[in-house]
Amino acid sequence: MFVIRHFEESLVPLHDKGVFGGHYHLYVGQEATGVPALACLRADDYLFTTHRNHGHLLARGAEPKRLFAEILGRVDGLNKGKGGSFHSVAPSLGFLHSSGVVAGIIPLSTGTAYASKAQKNGRLTVCLFGDGSLEEGAAPEAFNIASLLKLPVLFLCENNGKYGSGRAVAAAQSSSMAAYPLTDLPKAYKIPAQQIDGMDAGLVHATISQAVEKIRRGEGPQFVEAQTVRFPGSETNWPTVPVKTDTTLAWDVSSAPEKAREWYRSCDPLLIYIRELVDAKQASKDEIAAVERQVKTEIAAAVEFAVNSPYPKPEEAEKNFFA
Amino acid sequence: MRELAYYEAKFEALDEIMTADERVHLINGTFLSLSPHRHVFQNLQKKFRERMIAPPISELGFCGLATGAAMAGLRPIVDLSTGSFIYEAWPQVANEAANAFSMSGGQTRVPVVFHLFHGLRGGGAAQHSGSPQAMLWNVPGLEIVIPSSPRDVKGLLKTAVASDNPTIFVDHTRLLDIRGDVPENDKAIPFGVADIKRPGSDVTLIATSYTVQVCLGAAAKLAKEGIEVEVVDPRTLVPFDLATILSSVEKTHRVVIADETHQSCGVGAEIAARIAESGFDKLKTRIRRVSTLDVPVPYSPPLEAHIGPSESRIMDAVRAAVA
């Protein structure tokens, strides 16, 4: 969770300084969903993610320096600079394709699941998407097919809109869905679906473990909606960092701007987790701070690596688009 | 030489392909459109039922399923049946399958075949007569195959399934009952090799799909008028064999292009542009196109016949080229 948080917080100034261009999306505030959920998987499982993929890739063990290099369009990037923030992949970790079209991966995830079923290899597919993805027709088409064919796929919807503003229509928080709760949609296709608090790492782990077990038993697809609370740095058009995260924030948020304080005080899943560890005496404040210092050093080195990685040769643009 | 009907050659190919490679799955459809020869599909179904699925009417969903399955190592062949239905699946074909290899930095291969029947089929009207191959030619990352004879459909289908790239297999219902030589144990036909369907010295007549057959009829009649037409069939649009066409133009100095895509930005437009760019000095007269007129396809038989690349329009264009 520290790796994701400090990775994302390091990205914002790089963009602000013009080290990379284009739009990008942060995972801050959703760490307690991705990290425990992905810990429930086997090494050979397939995963699909969207434009908001940095946290998922890092949670699964992608090297921060190669992800930074990809986002910066450098030759050492995970995709040699051809994909960028939207499309970073890591096939060796099970990430074959990351789509910037919000529901693009949902039909694709039924395909890897179909292949796994045909090949009888026991592999499961996890499809990670946001609540907005359900607005596209690809989602219900894929739910119908997954349910009819009883495919081994977990649809994990990270609703990043709890208490969010912006696109909210009626009760649907950040998305424009007449079907609400969102679990009504998969349930209409007879896919077992549950809504949980995505800021509670322990609950996410328990829920996903159970869902994964059911899928591996051959019960067909499962749907979990993890509700997260929108990070205040994503309320603006371009992401901002209201305050650099530090272990001490877990007990004192006075360094955060007033507008953002409530989120850091009661919603930030990383700080919640830190307090849980300390309260349960599983780690001391000093131990956690030491881990955080180490992560910060590693992330700084990863940024350094990416900034110094060369751009691909321009001629590469004309090559390697066919296998 | 052994003679087969086009549909028989096509199903012989499917049978041989599925027997040789158990990664090949058939998704949706019968690969026959509304043709009465259902027994050939049923024979295949008896042998390979566990590798065929009949998904719901969800083109977007099942093209995504096939693409995802290809990413995971299967070699799916999807039947979209009527070519216009690929518009329902556009995001998965043009935005996911076509881009995956490039944007993953050459890591994710997508060996899927999208099969469709394009063109004027008699009473198809505006929504069942589309020839989407011209639009698809504007999407880098897709291979496009367009056979016109029994021998070609068999040889090209084998290469399409063996290809590691997403491939559009553009078929035509009016070809299904055409008969022609198909040698036993014929080799697969490589992509990017045009075929001279009839040699001639006066005019190079370039055609694709069913229009090749129309052109062969026109060429026989024109020969009686003393005009020797060379009918050249590119067989694949991507990759495209310009060299064979240019060497024909070197000999004839005259070009007519006939095909069923609409005229604007159509297949004829692209071929004409390539010849003009690379072989302008070889031409003695302007390039002429015989395409489908730029109108939505009308239903009534004389109206439909009026807009297509008919034998009489092709003959007129050839006569004008030698005048």
The backbone torsions φ and ψ at residue B86, rounded to the nearest 5 degrees and listed phi first, read -65, -20
Q: What is the pLDDT of residues A198-213, one digit of tens each?
A: 999 999 999 999 999 9
Q: What angle do CA A174, A178, A179 make, to 5 degrees?
A: 95
Per the structure block, which two tokens stand in for B106? 């050459």
SS3 A156: strand
Q: Do A79 and B104 touch (CB under 8 A)?
A: yes
Statement to judge: residues B97 and B156 lie in one domain = yes
Whether residue B122 lies inside any domain: the answer is yes
Whether residue A137 lies inside any domain: the answer is yes
Q: What confidence tier does A162 reach under pLDDT thresholds 50, 70, 90?
A: low
Whether residue A319 lies inside any domain: the answer is no
The CA radius of gyration of chain B, in Å to the nearest whole number, is 19
Whether residue A323 lies inside any domain: the answer is no
Domain boundary among B124, B155, B181: B181
Question: Which residues are within 8 A (CB) of B305 and not within 5 positions of it... i.e. 6 or more apart?
Answer: none
Mutation target among B28, B63, B67, B71 for the A interface, most CBs of A within 10 A = B71
First to last CA, chain B: 39
CATH number for B15 = 3.40.50.970
Catalytic residue among B8, B12, B25, B59: B59
Statement to judge: residues B138 and B238 lie in one domain = no
Report the share of chain A in percent with pLDDT over 90: 89
Statement to judge: residues B251 and B140 lie in one domain = no
Residue A166 has pLDDT above 70, yes or no: no
Residue B48: domain span: 3-181
The backbone torsions φ and ψ at residue B76, rounded to the nearest 5 degrees and listed phi first, read -75, 145
Handedness of CA A252, A257, A259, A264 (dihedral sign): negative
Q: Do A96 and B72 touch (CB under 8 A)?
A: yes
Statement to judge: residues B213 and B173 lie in one domain = no
The widest CA-to-CA distance across chain A, in whole angstroms, is 57
Statement to judge: residues B106 and B162 lie in one domain = yes
Q: What confidence tier does A174 reach under pLDDT thresholds 50, 70, 90?
A: low
Q: What angle do CA A149, A155, A161 make, to 5 degrees?
A: 150
Contact B32, B40 (CB under 8 A): yes
Whether residue B250 lies inside any domain: the answer is yes
Q: What confidence tier does A167 reach under pLDDT thresholds 50, 70, 90?
A: very low
Handedness of CA B147, B152, B154, B159 (dihedral sign): negative
Domain boundary among B156, B181, B206: B181
In this prediction, residues B6-32 reach a mean pLDDT of: 97
Residue A287 Cα distances to A261, A299, B81, B232, angstroms: 25, 19, 63, 75
Q: Which residue of A has its CA nearest to B104?
A: A79
**Cα–Cα distance for residue pair A48/B97, rounded to 1 Å:** 14
Statement to judge: residues B119 and B238 lie in one domain = no
Assign residue B163 a region (left: φ > 0; alpha: ψ between -120 and 50; beta: otherwise): beta
SS3 A129: strand
Q: Do B67 and A107 touch (CB under 8 A)?
A: yes
Residue A283 has pLDDT above 60, yes or no: yes
Whether residue B186 lies inside any domain: the answer is no
Whether residue A316 lies inside any domain: the answer is no
The domain total for chain B is 2
Question: Which residues are within 8 A (CB) of B12 and not within 5 positions of it... i.e. 6 or more apart?
Answer: B4, B154, B182
Whether residue B188 lies inside any domain: the answer is no
Whether residue A264 lies inside any domain: the answer is yes
Q: What is the mean pLDDT of chain B?
A: 97
Q: What is the mean pLDDT of chain A?
A: 94
Owner of token pair 């995260």: A245
Please state the ipTM of this predicted complex. 0.94
Statement to judge: residues B26 and B162 lie in one domain = yes
Q: Do A141 and B63 touch (CB under 8 A)?
A: no
CATH number for A239 = 3.40.50.970
| pLDDT score, position A191 | 98
Statement to judge: residues B11 and B50 lie in one domain = yes
Statement to judge: residues B69 and B36 lie in one domain = yes
Whether residue A320 lies inside any domain: the answer is no
Residue A173: domain span: 2-311
Which secondary-structure segment (H or E) carries A295? helix A285-308
In the DSSP assignment, the letter for residue A90 is: B
Residue B262 is among the residues annotated as catalytic for this protein:
no
Q: Do B141 and A321 touch (CB under 8 A)?
A: yes
pTM of the full structure: 0.96
Q: How far is A320 from chain B (nearest CA, A)?
A: 6
SS3 A48: strand
CA dihedral B89, B94, B95, B99 (to 10 degrees): 140
The domain total for chain A is 1
Statement to judge: residues B177 and B39 lie in one domain = yes
Q: What confidence tier does A234 reach under pLDDT thresholds 50, 70, 90?
A: confident
Neighbour count for residue B62 (Cβ, 10 Å): 30
CATH number for B308 = 3.40.50.920
Neighbour count for residue B87 (Cβ, 10 Å): 15
Statement to judge: residues B176 and B199 lie in one domain = no
DSSP A200-254: -HHHHHHHHHHHHHHHHTT---EEEEEEEE--GGGSSSS---SS---GGGGT--T
Of B55, B76, B100, the CB nearest to A97: B100
Neighbour count for residue A280 (Cβ, 10 Å): 8
Whether residue B189 lies inside any domain: the answer is no
Statement to judge: residues B143 and B204 lie in one domain = no
Whether residue A281 lies inside any domain: the answer is yes
Residue B100 Cα distances to A96, A323, B73, B95, angstroms: 9, 10, 14, 8
Whether residue A317 lies inside any domain: the answer is no
Contact A29, A269 (CB under 8 A): yes
The backbone torsions φ and ψ at residue B215, rounded to the nearest 5 degrees and listed phi first, read -65, -35
Domain boundary among B129, B156, B181: B181
In this prediction, residues B258-281 reach a mean pLDDT of: 98
Residue B118 is among the residues annotated as catalytic for this protein:
no
Q: How far is B21 from chain A (nearest CA, A)?
A: 13
